Amino acid sequence: MSVAENAVETAYAKINLALHVRRREADGYHALETLFAFADDGDLLELTDRPGLELTGPFAGALAGATDNLILRASRGFAELFGRGGERGFRLDKRLPVAAGIGGGSADAGAALRLLCRVYAVDPQDAGLMAFASSLGADVPACFVSLPTRGVGRGEQLERIEGVPSGMPLLLVNPMVPLATGPVFVAWDKVDRGPLAGGDPLAAALAGRNDLEPPAIGILPVIGEVLALLRKQPGTRLVRMSGSGATCFALFEDEDARDAADAAIGAERPDWWRMATRLR
């Protein structure tokens, strides 16, 4: 089978509109309540006829030398489950920073699974496929769906939600310093500050928080600078760190406000990465 026009998929950048850490479980994982949403942009993944993974794009260098990329693990698992796709490879245009709290490898793995489902006519609702996605990482099921969801457990138990305003202007900002997830969870103060509200997801997000912001800022103080600069911008609806950082985001009332903020932050901190987009 040769590469077709439909053999390209976006690995949509993930954001956590809110992220409540409730407790640390006996197995070392943390019980979470989160609202996942996705940008309309991200990495681009293409299915090729050459086995393996080819890397391009501004952040390709960060993945160079990786021997067990999540994309390839996703591909191998898909082939074992359905007997198709194992002879194919991928080309990843890595446009998102790594170790950044916006999906990263999970988004790429989710895109690989969606791509393989489409090309090989596999039902994306297949129970075995969703279980396999969960085995790849806690965020992979949400990134596979790439639509607004409420996540509990480790974030892998998902419920689709309505009311996240598709098309709402969104600005992502990263200070260009990677931040590993593990140390941020270790630095969490173990205080349960209460559940995430139900109902309207944007209202719940506005009333909620990201419990990983304080420990992340403690490890990487520049995150506080990113948040402060975003909060200074006119027209924001919600400003928050995503995931375990270091990427922060702002939702805006309109595209003019987002674009003005993008230009202002770019002028003040040209060394930071930015992506002006919208909610998917």
Catalytic residue among 14, 93, 211, 262: 14
Decide: helix, strand or coil at residue 45. strand
Nearest alpha-carbon partner for 103 in 184, 163, 32, 181:
181
Contact 101, 36 (CB under 8 A): no
Q: Which of 41, 43, 93, 139 is catalytic?
A: 139
Q: What are phi and psi of 65, to 5 degrees?
A: 90, -5
DSSP 210: B
Q: How far apart are CA 204 and CA 192, in angstroms?
A: 17
Contacts of 41 (CB under 8 A, 6+ apart): 10, 12, 13, 95, 275, 277
139 is annotated as an active-site residue: yes
Whether 41 is a known active-site residue: answer no
- Dist. CA 182–CA 215, nearest whole Å: 11
The string of DSSP letters for 145-169 reads H-S-EEEEETTTEEEE-S---TT-E
CB 184 within 8 A of CB 258: no
Strands (E), the chain: 8-24, 30-48, 52-56, 89-93, 149-153, 157-160, 169-174, 236-241, 248-252, 273-278
Catalytic residues: 14, 139
